[in-house]
Amino acid sequence: MGSGDAVPDSWRAVLEPVLETPAARRLGGFVRAEEAAGKIVYPPRGERLAALDLTPLDAVRVVILGQDPYHGAGQAHGLSFSVQDGVKVPPSLSNIYKELAADLGLARPDHGNLTKWARQGVLLLNSSLTVEDGKPASHAGKGWEAITDAVVAAVAAKDEPCVFMLWGNHARKKAMSVPGLGRGSRHLILTAPHPSPLSAHSGWFGSGHFGKANAFLASQGRGTIDWSL
């Protein structure tokens, strides 16, 4: 994972078993070897576990699953769908903002940094937590999935009801294989097509996930998320 990417205390107990497996050690060796070979890996060291740093396990109220980090310079900083301040808002995030406006009447932000959501208990988790510059999904299947599956399972095992926003087939398959997220779950499972321009018009727009999430959280005595940015 790289130096500066220590597992935060709140997640250590649930992740230590998987981090001690040979597969996890191979992942660490793979990433280090890629960097040693001169390849650029995003996000930079120290930011790869930002989702876990900013959203402790006991604080999680909503989970939004992405696939892998943005693969352009300066974009990825460890939160799914989010980009650093000063970086152009990517198309999928632009569509998220359009749905926020339609759903909750929120003004379009002038930036793409979703840290404010993460600090309120929105776990912005990608399936893979690193990627090579310019090569989407280049680190898929290298071992991250077991780690992020364990993160999703830990949230699913919480006593407090949470909201899982599953956008696109990849997120839906990843989450729905986890015990506690099937039929009869105490959690709210919201599914829709991915907000990518390729699929947003197939049911992402009009899904109303943000309002539905807040209504559910309020009904469970868990407050609401301020989705404005």
Q: What are 10-27's pLDDT values in tens digits? A: 999 999 999 999 999 999
Q: What are 86-128's pLDDT values in tens digits? A: 999 999 999 999 999 999 999 999 999 999 999 999 999 999 9
Residue 61 has pLDDT above 50, yes or no: yes
Nearest-angstrom CA–CA distance, 73 and 84: 10
Question: What does the mean pLDDT of the chain come to?
Answer: 95
DSSP run (H or E) holding 216: helix 209-219
Whether 68 is catalytic: yes
Q: List the domains of the chain with CATH numbers.
A: 9-219 (3.40.470.10)
The whole-number pLDDT of residue 174 equals 92
Q: What are 199-213's pLDDT values in tens digits? A: 999 999 999 999 999
Q: How confident is the model at residue 1 (pLDDT cuts 50, 70, 90)?
A: low
Sign of CA dihedral 225, 214, 81, 48: positive
Using alpha carbons, select from 57, 100, 92 the residue that is nearest to residue 75. 92
Q: Which is the catalytic residue, given 68, 85, 159, 226? A: 68
DSSP state of 81: T
Q: What are 139-171's pLDDT values in tens digits? A: 999 999 999 999 999 999 999 999 999 999 999
Q: How confident is the model at residue 4 (pLDDT cuts 50, 70, 90)?
A: low
